Copies of this chain bind each other. A is one copy, B any other.
Amino acid sequence: MKIDFLQQAIDLAAENPRKGGGPYGAVIVKNEQILASNANLVTKKNDPTAHAEILAIRRACQNINSFWLTDCVLYSSCEPCPMCLGAIYWARLKKVYFACNRFDAAQAGFDDSFIYQEIQLMPEQRTIPMLQIDIADANKPFQVWNNFSEKTPY
């Protein structure tokens, strides 16, 4: 852990509101070198997925031409929300360091903590109901995938 990288993530976050973004920053590091750093751009880009961590993961992947960030470390000004946590797993990052946590975020008016509660409910019982529908072709995409010899697994 290098405290400088975490400080950079915090500085990005603290400078961002006056640039029109949310108070979050993220830095991705490989072999002690910064691969990507981003602040939150949700409101600036009209993109609810444009969290600092998501943007840094996407940019780091572009920079190394890979959809995996094996051996990379994420430094974030705040504990990643469930969306960013999912992205961290899909990107196969090695480790995450953060400064604030989900409860600090909730106090500042961000719903991280609420989403962590919702995710543990049965899909149909959530505030945003998620309903499985019985349809004949449901498994067709996975059957096609399993039978397709030229696929790139991920």
Please give the residue numbers on chain A whose beta carbons come within 8 Å of chain B beta carbons, in ascending order: 1, 3, 6-7, 10-11, 13-14, 16-18, 20, 22-25, 42-43, 46-49, 54, 57-58, 61-62, 65-69, 77-101, 104-105, 107-109, 111, 114-116, 118-120, 123, 128-133, 135, 137-142, 144-146, 148, 151-154
Contacts and interface: CB of A to CB of B under 8 A. Distances in A.
B96 A129 contact: yes
List the 9 closest pairs (A to B, CB-CB), nearest first: A83-B86, A13-B141, A23-B141, A99-B138, A23-B145, A82-B86, A108-B142, A48-B90, A96-B130
Q: Say how many copies of this protein the assembly contains.
A: 2
A137 B67 contact: no
B111 A89 contact: yes
A119 B102 CA distance: 13
A144 B13 CA distance: 9
